[in-house]
Structure 1
């Protein structure tokens, strides 16, 4: 059988359990990448606890398979199937269909060696897992993590692939911005609680409203962001920082943590005067950064609007659906089984 025909028959299985109802950006991106794989002519499935579970905060047309069926009913072929597992599943690498080729989808380099409070193998064992021959590729979602995997972990560059996240904001004409500052309290909530309390005491915020984004569907989140002028970022560590990218794509300036993986986003927005990076734990940095950007936006409002609009256009161009599709295709075509 020719290689092209083999590629067309290839099946990809994303491991995404347990079923979690609350918004997790990485889960949405797994669905989006799975959709891309299907549009490219391959087959892609998401393995969940229950096949009928559907995240309520975004839409998806991906076929889900229950964990029970995946492990007990479905027959996998090492010449056809590829299992894609998150970096947090690394300890199960040898236990899940040991002979089936694997891709580690590392969406957050900060979790490579474990999450605080959870039990993980030693760093040396994790290093060995990543270099195991059964791991055909390692995917990541930012340049920061790509360099970490290829340089610090010394993985061959031919094995590490950057998958571009795409922002889903499609507005060509942004609505008139309001005096709104928004943030998401679900990451480092203790930090956001402190910062918001400090901001409430600042005179420069008279006439401004600070709005937490929580419990909304993804489309509603994008709608809120489209009216906000500033987004406070509390995510750390981040493999990429999708809320940061989505905020920028809708013309918001950003203040806060770049999460390491979001450094490229802060750097890009900084060229337009639309970002202020804050060191992790520097609560006053949020106050100073927000004050600086608000002052800049009021000093020359027409120029600031122009710059933020151009920045948003460029972000939507760089982190587009076509960028994601091309990066996924490049990775798939390079898989050697």
Structure 2
């Protein structure tokens, strides 16, 4: 009989990035008829999703996670536990079984291993840098409790191999390119997302404006915006500054490429899987001076002769749509989950 798989998921205000991938993965497995649920920390958690699998909660792993937070964070967490007991939310408490498999996001690994000593562990790596920090906190015996691992990019699969995990599966996460439609006609607009590098973003914006080499282009940060506004802005943008940092894949640059923007900037390391000189204009990580000069050079080239860069951005959009679409993600999940359940 197939085991139940419980996907640990952080609580928050919205499902984006890695959390959205957790929801997409669990929803697809649920759609396939397998026993699966998403397990939050709070009974009041949960995100809107078109195909929600069952949602449950359990506070046990949070009791161990608090060891790695500040004193204020610890007190806030304890207060939230009390509120959940006094005024519970809509989620039922999980009826944990010894046969359950806990599917753990990389940054929760050490807490999950401590909280669930009798369950099998599946590791979901979406951020190799978070995984590295967690691996440093656990011992070799605990590492052996990981029965299989999912990785969303080449760099994730490399880490799975380095750790000696025998059952590693590549899951090409979808960045939902249908939300970022290629636009041929663009405005003189340069956009960027400052969240990962706020100080550097302000510096780059200021220096670009002060130098006066933008040739009429306007700079616009995309921050705290709903999806449809981000999609609209990327659709109008001729250039996009990639400020990705410590990514296992990193979708901002991919979304810009899908929309037809010319992407200049950092791959975030993991983004090297799709962000190359064939799809954009990558710059050495953290070299903000090179980024500024490279963007100015690209603007000058486009205003003089746009043919090469127009061909580049069209090729990039096609590449993203081929490699990070829903169909490829769904087919991968179907194959992976059959393999995992055969091995259980």
TM-score class normalised by the smaller sequence: 0.7 to 0.9
State the 1:24 CA deviation. Answer: 4.4
2:213 match: secondary structure = helix
Tell me which of 147, 163, 169 is aligned to 1:136: 147
SS of residue paired to 1:262 = helix
CA distance 1:11–1:298, change in 2 (3 Å): farther
Q: 2:305 matched to 1:300?
A: yes
SS in structure 1 opposite 2:274? helix
Provide the residue aligned with 2:56 in structure 1: 65
**Deviation (angstroms), 1:54:** 4.3
Q: Deviations over 1:241-283 (max 9, x none)?
A: 011211111112212221111011212xx22xx4222223211
Counterpart of 2:259?
250
* Partner residue in 2 for 1:222: 231
**Shift in Å at residue 68 of structure 1?**
4.8
Describe the shift of the 1:278–1:323 C-alpha distance in structure 2 as closer, same or farther (beyond 3 A): same
TM-score, length of structure 1 as denominator length: 0.83
SS at match of 1:236: coil
Unaligned runs of 5+ in 2: 63-91
- Residue 11 of structure 1 pairs with residue 28 of structure 2: no
Contact 1:109-1:145 within 8 A present in 2 as well = yes
Q: 1:129 and 1:201, CA in 2 relative to 1: closer, same or farther beyond 3 A? A: farther
Partner residue in 1 for 2:331: 326
Q: C-alpha separation between the residues in 2 aligned to 1:237 and 1:112?
A: 12
Match of 2:286 in 1: 281
Task: Report the alpha carbon displacement of residue 140 of structure 1 after superposing the two structures with TM.
Answer: 1.4
Moved more, 69-78 or 172-181: 69-78
Residue 120 (structure 2) pairs with residue 101 (structure 1): yes
Question: Which residue, out of 113, 120, 124, partners 2:132?
Answer: 113
Q: Which moved more, 1:20-29 or 1:245-254?
A: 20-29
Q: Tell whether the 8 Å contact from 1:113 to 1:126 is kept in structure 2 after alignment.
A: no
Is 1:317 the counterpart of 2:337 in the alignment? Answer: no
Structure 1 or 2: more helix by fraction: 2
CA deviations 1:120-153 (Å, max 9, x no partner) are: 6746x356543x1x31211111112212321x33
Residue of structure 2 equivalent to 1:20: 12
1:186 to 192, 195, 198: 195
Question: 1:223/1:126 Cα in 2 relative to 1: closer, same or farther (>3 Å)?
Answer: farther
DSSP 3-state at the match of 2:24: helix
Bigger drift between 19-28 and 140-149 goes to: 19-28
Residue-pair matches, total: 312
Q: Give the TM-score normalised by structure 2.
A: 0.81
Q: Which of 160, 165, 174 is residue 166 of structure 1 equivalent to?
A: 174
Do the aligned residues in 2 keep the contact of 1:175 with 1:227 (CA within 8 Å)?
no
Partner of 1:117: none
Q: Secondary structure at the match of 1:95?
A: helix
2:252 and 2:50 map into 1 onto residues whose CA distance is 17
Counterpart among 108, 114, 117 of residue 89 in structure 1: 108
8 A Cα contact 2:150 2:169, kept in partner: yes
* Residue 31 (1) aligns with residue 23 (2): yes
Match of 1:46, SS? strand
Structure 1 position 60, deviation (Å): 6.2
Residue 147 of structure 1, aligned match among 158, 175, 191: 158
Q: Is the contact made by 2:37 and 2:55 (CA closer than 8 Å) also made in structure 1?
A: yes
RMSD: 2.7
Rounded to whole Å, the distance in 2 between the matches of 1:265 and 1:288 is: 23
